[in-house]
Amino acid sequence: MKDQIRQIEQEALKEIASAGLSMDALEALRVKYLGRKGTVTELFKTMALLPPDEKPGIGVLINALKSTVTSALDGRIAGAARSGEEADRVDVTLPGIAGKPGRIHPVTQTINQICSVFISLGFKIVEGPEIETERYNFEALNIPLEHPSRDAFDTFYLKSSEKYLLRSHTSPVQARFMEKNKPPFSIIVPGKVYRPDATDASHSFMFHQIEGLAVSDSIRFSDLKGVLEIFAKQLFGKETKMRFRPSFFPFTEPSAEVDISCILCSNQRLPPAKQGAGQAEAGSQKRCSLCGGKGWIEILGAGMVNPKVFKNVGYDPEKVTGFAFGMGVERIAILKYGIPDIRLFFENDVRFLKQF
Ligand code: PHE
């Protein structure tokens, strides 16, 4: 039996040594040798059957075997635990992974900027659906069936049905809002609009507009001028001048196209000595590249709400007056930042986007 004990000890130590640092493997060995039916436990049971005078000597040997195996296993288990901790430890001396901070898209930045000017003047932000009906996109706005913008070439009609289209401007929200609300109110409506234009440096089939609408019992054209002048000065600088040119929109009467003094040649961008309306530089013969020599650039369409529109939404045109305007956001951003091509906004090129 002494030989058997020695042999078991050798085998156990060898197995424990080669078990590596796997906790599962070490636990299996503990069960194999020291468990209830383990090899060492079985030895004690065998010893009980020995003649009384042999028991003490063998008992000492089995006890010694038990403590050898136990301490060999304990040593290994402690090592395994330590190496587990090491794997979890963070090496603070390793180079870090730099985060790439995102930023707000220049179009969104421009929308936010424009909206905050109007919010400071008491306007509320309202939004409307991008999928519209002919009623809101055209009819309620007094755009007749024969109007060129109702042609399939100028509006995206949705295939499934003749009734739905992608709104070609944000003006339908004027009618939607008026149907559900009573004056007085002043709202601005930022959002995407769609037109099947061939894409080039200044056209995109999708772009953003901001619509404005103010209605009360006493809104006048001078209110429109005052509000737009504050907007233009806040966005393009205090020296910015504004002019209204007579124009036509079916949903406003009278209507105007609104220009600002060119921010490149007629405005604060150049020192006063270099400013010369329409010229690349004061006294120069070369025309300004931004306004083409006119000294003015168009930024929006506007007018007094057509009484027919009021009637279409259930208002009494004798009792209310209002103004409306609509501007293209990309155009404003292009002018403000001197961006050469509208497509840059939508190509997701980080080299472009990270400049804003
Ligand atoms: N909806 C017009 C456009 O898209 C702009 C506009 C809005 C003009 C409101 C006048 C009043 O061109």
Q: Is the model's pTM score more than 0.75?
A: no
Residue nearest atom 2 of ligand 1, based on CA coordinates: 326
Residue nearest atom 8 of ligand 1, based on CA coordinates: 301
> How confident is the model at residue 47, as a pLDDT?
83
> How confident is the model at residue 254, as a pLDDT?
98
> How confident is the model at residue 296, as a pLDDT?
92
Mutation probe of ligand 1 site: the residue of 249, 255, 257 with most atoms within 8 A of C-beta: 249
Atom in ligand 1 nearest the alpha carbon of residue 328: 4
Query: How many A from CA of 42 to the centre of ligand 1?
Result: 96
Omega into 272 within 30° of 0, i.e. cis? no
* Cβ atoms within 10 Å of 60's Cβ, excluding its own: 10
**For residues 287 and 289, what is the distance between their CA atoms, to the nearest angstrom?**
6
Residue nearest atom 5 of ligand 1, based on CA coordinates: 326
Write down the residue that tokens 């006063």 correspond to: 272
H or E segment to which residue 212 belongs: strand 206-216
Using CB distances shorter than 6 Å, the residues near ligand 1 are 169, 171, 211, 249, 252, 301-303, 324-326
**Sequence spans of domains, the chain:** 2-88, 106-353
Write down the residue that tokens 């006294």 correspond to: 283
Our measurement of the distance from residue 266's CA atom to the centroid of its chain's CA atoms, rounded to an integer in Å, reads 36
Query: How many A from CA of 171 to the centre of ligand 1?
Result: 6
Write down the residue that tokens 């919010």 correspond to: 119
Query: How many A from CA of 190 to the centre of ligand 1?
Result: 13
Nearest to 270 by CA among 247, 222, 237: 237
Omega into 196 within 30° of 0, i.e. cis? no
> How confident is the model at residue 302, as a pLDDT?
98
Query: How many A from CA of 52 to the centre of ligand 1?
Result: 112
Q: What is the pLDDT along the chain (356 residues), one digit of tens a residue?
A: 888 888 888 888 888 888 877 778 888 888 888 888 888 888 888 888 888 888 888 888 888 888 888 888 888 888 777 777 667 778 888 888 888 888 999 999 999 999 999 999 999 999 999 999 999 999 999 998 888 878 877 899 998 666 899 999 999 999 999 999 999 999 999 999 999 999 999 899 999 999 999 999 999 999 999 999 999 999 999 999 999 999 999 999 999 999 999 888 876 555 556 666 777 776 777 888 888 888 899 999 999 999 999 999 999 999 999 999 999 999 999 998 989 999 999 999 999 999 99
Query: At what angle are helices 55-88 and 2-18 packed, to 10 degrees?
Result: 0
> How confident is the model at residue 16, as a pLDDT?
84
Strand order in the sheet with 242-249: 124-125, 185-194, 206-216, 321-328, 296-305, 252-261, 242-249
Query: How many A from CA of 300 to the centre of ligand 1?
Result: 8
> How confident is the model at residue 268, as a pLDDT?
53
Residue nearest atom 4 of ligand 1, based on CA coordinates: 169
Atom in ligand 1 nearest the alpha carbon of residue 169: 4
**For residues 256 and 10, what is the distance between their CA atoms, to the nearest angstrom?**
102
Query: How many A from CA of 263 to the centre of ligand 1?
Result: 23
> How confident is the model at residue 274, as a pLDDT?
64
* Cβ atoms within 10 Å of 196's Cβ, excluding its own: 14
> How confident is the model at residue 83, as a pLDDT?
74
Nearest to 216 by CA among 128, 123, 139: 123
Residue nearest atom 7 of ligand 1, based on CA coordinates: 326
Query: In the CATH hierarchy, which fold is given to the domain comprising 106-353?
Result: BirA Bifunctional Protein; domain 2 (3.30.930)
Our measurement of the distance from residue 92's CA atom to the centroid of its chain's CA atoms, rounded to an integer in Å, reads 33
Query: How many A from CA of 258 to the centre of ligand 1?
Result: 11
Atom in ligand 1 nearest the alpha carbon of residue 213: 9
> How confident is the model at residue 314, as a pLDDT?
98
